[in-house]
Structure 1
């Protein structure tokens, strides 16, 4: 369906996101740090970017600034973070992130956001409302597991 670039220094998260997105028929490329992510972005020109905030070297905010400095770039960006503080989220949105999702998250939340944007069901500017809507429809974070949701760990076993 879509070419997705995952930029994250956590091998386990990269593998799980790759598994989840490939099950959903997306083509996935992974970059393990910010500098590699910028180079991959320039070569691949992905349809969607999943970007970790905290990485050594060039962090997610630096990658996002660099990506958004590219002329004519409107690729949707989902930022993932282990620290869900409001200041970091505001900084991400000010730099041009479309979505901001705190870890832990479920496979369903990630797929809902990515597929919703790519299929034009979710406006690229409505990050918080999209996550709230997803959760109201039965998509819940890993800390709030309910029947019918899949954690990223559970998806690995489906493969």
Structure 2
């Protein structure tokens, strides 16, 4: 069990992350802004911090820099944002952030990032970001921490490089990123539901999601839960 601090100004996100991490057996404290996060950090030694970048008082990158300069960055910090640019994420990793998660955060990516962060007691200084040749994309984060624009660029570049007529796997890559991702996730879950005869238990095992979170995700994506039920 680890002591984890979740810092986010959105109540729904704080509650969701706390619920998931508590289910995994961790002890979770929450803070809705940098002021509360400072107080919590001064009073407790955390094993890991999930820190939102955009907050109303002090942004997460500034708070991360403050902790780094005052010797308080003694735990892995995973940055979170739904609006950050690649430059912002790179800056955070240079300051000392362990990795970066783009919102909305899936449970699998969250738990993977937390697991990897907890395996690293003290974050080592981040290496300088590699310089990319013109027109090339260089991933600069851990496997769980690639920002969505980087992932999208790599995926599109790979599709463009593949001359096969079905290289895009039937997905419309000309849509906004979140719509394209939702389309992929819906097809992914529908595939597993069909293969498992509509068994939510087996689909949960295959996808690594708890049944409660799986139901929530399927409803969010508009997946028909009755279509693949065995008669």
**TM class by shorter-chain length?**
0.7 to 0.9
Q: Distance in 2 between matches of 1:154 and 1:45?
A: 30
Q: 1:156 to 1:31 in 2, by over 3 A?
A: farther
Q: Which has the higher contact order (CA 8 A, sep 6+)?
A: 1
Call closer, same or farther: CA 1:132–1:79 in 2, change over 3 Å: closer
Q: Deviations over 1:63-101 (max 9, x none)?
A: 111221232643100000111421111121122111111
- Aligned-pair RMSD on alpha carbons? 2.9
State the partner residue of 1:38.
Answer: 38
| 2:99 counterpart of 1:99 | yes
> Where in structure 1 do 4 or more consecutive aligned residues deviate above 4 Å?
123-127
**Alignment check: 8 A CA contact 1:81 1:102 kept:** yes
Q: Structure 2-normalised TM-score?
A: 0.56
Give the number of the structure whose residues are more often strand, by fraction.
1
Q: State the distance in 1 between where 2:49 and 2:64 align.
A: 10
Larger radius of gyration: 2
Q: Number of aligned pairs?
A: 148
Match of 1:131 among 144, 154, 167: 144
Q: Which structure 1 residue ranges, 5 or more long, are not aligned? A: 136-140
3-state SS of paired residue (2:29): strand
- Partner residue of 2:175? none
Q: How far 1:116 moved relative to its partner?
A: 2.2
- Name the counterpart of 1:70: 70
Which secondary structure state, in structure 1, belongs to the residue aligned with residue 143 of structure 2? helix
Q: Structure 2: any 5+ residue segments left out of the alignment? A: 128-139, 152-177, 190-206, 217-231
**In the aligned structure 2, how far is the partner of 1:23 from the partner of 1:112?**
15
Residue in 2 aligned with 1:138? none
